[in-house]
Structure formats: structure tokens, C-alpha cells
């Protein structure tokens, strides 16, 4: 079973380009390197996540990623194999360029991005390699994603939901156990249940 994760980034770098023929292209970074995430912590533990430069190298060689709106596979905007989605990794992150379909969805989405109504860009992925570190003074933990295993989808979202961190939580629990710290993991489950009750996580 795939351990699928999803992250959301601010869409301030999301741009629409219109052609003379009336078509529209949506371009922006689905992921940014070396930028700390919001606090993904559970209980009293602060946890930040980073994506290492070059993390998408292997995934881009094998992916047939799709672009979707609001995580919904019924709202397909483009696909790599069709040439309507182009992904490129550079020093800043993962740049996605989508040739928007000339449908009502595509036209409405272009207008919404231009107006600033669309507030996030997400990507769905699996992790091949990551690394955890812990600050001995304050207990804060850092997860660095070193290699993306599979890139499943990218795309704009209406609002940046709290990221689905269930897989990251289990990875952190393994890290804690391997360090034999004796940390009480019930705090993490309490934090997860609280976020669910507030509808602050995707699932």
C-alpha cells in the first residue's frame, strides 16, 4: 500500500498567462526547497519539515503526474503524458506549468487565480528517503525529505488546508523509538484527534 502524503504551499507565485488565441497557461511552484513548513507538531513537540534540493530528480524520471483542482481526480487540468502538464525542477523548487483546458472549469480557474481567489498550490507524493533530527535543547524535531518516491498529482486548491501529516507522524514515531527516548506518543494522537475535530487536517 502506498504511503501517500500531501502538502500545500501558498500560491503567491501562481500566475496565469494568456495567449493571443485565447488559451491560458497556469504556472507556479508546487513545492519549494529549503522552506520550513508550518509547525506539524503533535502534543508539545514542534516539528518542521523541509524538502531538500534535488528531491524530485528520481520521481520526475518515472512519473506520469496529473494536474487536478482541489485534490479532485474528477477535475483534471492536465497530464504529463498528454503534454498539457510540464514539470521542471530548478534551484527554487518544483515548477508546474499547466495548459488549462478550454472548458468552463479551465476558464473559471484562470479568472479565479487572476483575482487572487485561489490561495494554495498542492502536490501529492510518496517519500523514498527522509531524515529526522532533534534539537536537544528544546526538543524540536526537523524532517528533511531527501527523495520523493512518486509524484502523483499537483494543482491549485481553493484554500490551504492543514496538510495530511498522518504518514509523517508515523515516521516521527519510528524516529523517536529508534532513539530510545521514552517519549510518550499519546500526546501525538491527542494532537491528531484535536485537529480532526477542528477540521484542520484533510483526513
- The 10s digit of each residue's pLDDT in 182-201 is 444 445 455 555 455 545 44
Residue in the block written with cell 530510545? 180
The average confidence (pLDDT) of the chain is 82
Three cell numbers at 203?
483526513
**129: pLDDT strictly greater than 80:** yes
Helix (H, G, I), strand (E, B) or coil at 61: helix
φ/ψ of residue 18, rounded to 5? -105, 140
Has residue 32 got a pLDDT over 70?
Answer: yes
Query: How many angstroms separate the CA atoms of 160 and 150, rounded?
Result: 22
CA nearest neighbour of 170 among 132, 122, 119, 125: 132
pLDDT of 110 reads 94
Q: What span, in angstroms and rounded, lies between the C-alpha atoms of 164 and 152?
A: 15
Amino acid at each position: 500500500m502506498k504511503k501517500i502524503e500531501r502538502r500545500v504551499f501558498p500560491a503567491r507565485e501562481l500566475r496565469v498567462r494568456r495567449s493571443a488565441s485565447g488559451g491560458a497557461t497556469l504556472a507556479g511552484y508546487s513545492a519549494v526547497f529549503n522552506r520550513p513548513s508550518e509547525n506539524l507538531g503533535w502534543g508539545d513537540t514542534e516539528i518542521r519539515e523541509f524538502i531538500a534540493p534535488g528531491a524530485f530528480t528520481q520521481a520526475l524520471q518515472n512519473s506520469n503526474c496529473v494536474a487536478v483542482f482541489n485534490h479532485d481526480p474528477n477535475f483534471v487540468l492536465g497530464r504529463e503524458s498528454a503534454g498539457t502538464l510540464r514539470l521542471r525542477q530548478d534551484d527554487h523548487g518544483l515548477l508546474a506549468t499547466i495548459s488549462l483546458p478550454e472548458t468552463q472549469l479551465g476558464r473559471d480557474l484562470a479568472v479565479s487565480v487572476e483575482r487572487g481567489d485561489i490561495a494554495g498550490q498542492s502536490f501529492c507524493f510518496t517519500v523514498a528517503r527522509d531524515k529526522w533530527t532533534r534539537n536537544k535543547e528544546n526538543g524540536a524535531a526537523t524532517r528533511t525529505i531527501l527523495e520523493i518516491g512518486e509524484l502523483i498529482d499537483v494543482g491549485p486548491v481553493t484554500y490551504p488546508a492543514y496538510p495530511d501529516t498522518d504518514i509523517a507522524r508515523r515516521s516521527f514515531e519510528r524516529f523517536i523509538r529508534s532513539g530510545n527516548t521514552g517519549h510518550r506518543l499519546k500526546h501525538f494522537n491527542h494532537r491528531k484527534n484535536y485537529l480532526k475535530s477542528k477540521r484542520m487536517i484533510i483526513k
